[in-house]
Amino acid sequence: MERISVFDIFKIGIGPSSSHTMGPWKAANEFISELETSGRWEEIVGLNVELFGSLAKTGKGHGTDLAVILGLQNYLPQTIPLEEVESAFKIVLEESQINLGGKKYIPFKADSDIIFHMDQSLPYHSNGISFRCFFQDETSYSSTFYSIGGGFVVKEGEDFEHQPTVQMPFPIDRGEDLQNWCIQTGFTISEVVFQNELSLRSEEQIKSDLFAIWHVMKTCIYESCHKEGELPGGLNVQRRAKALAGKLMEGKEYENVEEWIENIKKGDHGFSNTLKWLSCFALAVNEENAAFGRIVTAPTNGAAGVIPAVLMYHLCFNETAKDDDVVRFLLTAGEFGSLFKKGATISAAMGGCQAEIGVSSAMAAGALTEVLGGSFEQAMMAAEIAMEHHLGMTCDPIGGLVQVPCIERNTMGAIKAVTAAQIAMESDPSKALVSLDAVIKTMKETALDMNTKYKETSDGGLALHIAVNLVEC
């Protein structure tokens, strides 16, 4: 069984892409760790990086070269100061050398030492990346990694699955397993997941880490709702969240994110305003993601806006909402994300956008149903409904940038999640024709049937028919 923690699904990092930014960054970090333990660190005189498949085709737009360069310098995406992201990258470009592991300068020319193989893919996954370092005696050492979606990385030759090192009390591979544990224990979904997480962390650590994740999410929403201007990359996409939030706030005064949220709670709860706020929350996150801001992978960067938008919607507009709902919501959402990863994929390069927005919408739908007091059957039904209406969605980022249609798709995913939860709460799951496992299996089969050009290549869909003139990133 693949062991996936909620903290594997939710990871604090930098935009714009979990597969093309976070994954290569992590791979570079791991390669540096290999070199540091090789016993030949002082002999290193050169290095190159090769990108294959989807990493090559949309790597520029996703900042893959930036991620690799920062990772090779041993920066971590969850801790790097945002103001250093661009500057640390530019220094390497300007000086044609890199501070390897933050310890050793070697020559490095990004335009020739990072090689984009546009027409080559490696056998195991379309997101392949190879590192090779050169020693003084003219020998070399290389490692190949695959970025398999959601910031997950595996090394070539190793098992693609996480091998369990700790036995969880309630092992779950499929939706049916989750359902059976809920029946046997009388637990809600979040309670089952919490018990599993206790095999990895203390109760205090679980709650603390989940609130830390929520803090990053809500801070991202708030800060992005106060930024304007044009997103980087050359598409001339303008930020919209600030203008929308300002209009909805109607001149109310506040000094911080908590006061801002309190004003939203006290404002107009009519259908139109509520829907606009939900959309605004999602727009805000993914505008920040597109600008290389700090976000939470949920389960990917391209779909990072759905979960925080729906959770913020719940906390602001449901009168019964309480702080503890953050823990229950994220635990439940994480488990649904885990089921989709185990049974299908959360990589757009493998499954199209159904694997990103579709999965995030399903996660949010199930989690919202849980915190609204729905049964585990209703929560699973909500997740199924949300995915059912994302099946076959293509990944076609214009110019290889996580902007159009990606930013708006997060608003649609959030709206579908809320609608799916509402439908499930008013339904009898025993009469449903489609199970969660059935829709996960269907999603996997659909992904296998999809033409490659609709899987994060920018070779089809909107990306093919919208003419752009991009500057080099």
* Angle, CA 128 vertex, CA 158 and CA 138 arms, to 5°: 85
Mind giving me the DSSP string for 174-207? SHHHHHHHHHHH---HHHHHHHHHTTTS-HHHHH
* pLDDT score of 162: 46
**SS3 call for 147:** strand
Helices and strands, counts by H and E, the chain? 21, 9
CATH superfamily for 18-155 is D-3-phosphoglycerate dehydrogenase; domain 3 (3.30.1330.90)
Give pLDDT, residue 469. Answer: 57
**Strand pairing class (114-117; 44-53):** parallel
The pLDDT tens digits for 453-468 are 999 888 899 988 886 7
Q: Output the pLDDT for position 323.
A: 93
What DSSP character marks residue 109?
-
Among candidates 269, 223, 227, which has minimal Cα distance to 248?
269
Residue 21: DSSP 8-state = I
Helix pair 257-266, 203-224: axis angle to 10 deg: 80
The percent of residues above 70 in pLDDT, for the chain, comes to 97
Rounded CA-CA distance 434/432 in Å is 6
- Give the separation between CA 160 and CA 180, rounded to whole angstroms: 27
The rounded distance, in Å, linking the Cα atoms of 69 and 48 is 11
Q: What pLDDT shows up at residue 180?
A: 98
Which candidate, 158, 154, 151, 155, places its Cα nearest to that of 348?
Answer: 151
Average pLDDT, the chain: 95
In the chain, which residues have pLDDT < 70? 1-2, 159-165, 467, 469-473
pLDDT of residue 169: 96
Q: pTM value?
A: 0.94
Please report the pLDDT score of residue 333 as a whole number. Answer: 98
DSSP 372-441: TT--HHHHHHHHHHHHHTTTT--B--GGG-S-TTHHHHHHHHHHHHHHHHHHHHTS-GGG-SS-HHHHHH
Q: What is the pLDDT of residue 1?
A: 56
Cα(first)–Cα(last) distance of the chain, in Å?
40
Q: Can you give the pLDDT at residue 58? A: 87
Residue range(s) of every CATH 3.30.1330.90 domain in the chain = 18-155
CB half-sphere exposure, 247, CA atoms < 13 A? 11
Predicted local distance difference test score (pLDDT) of residue 470: 52
Cβ–Cβ < 8 Å for 397, 301: no
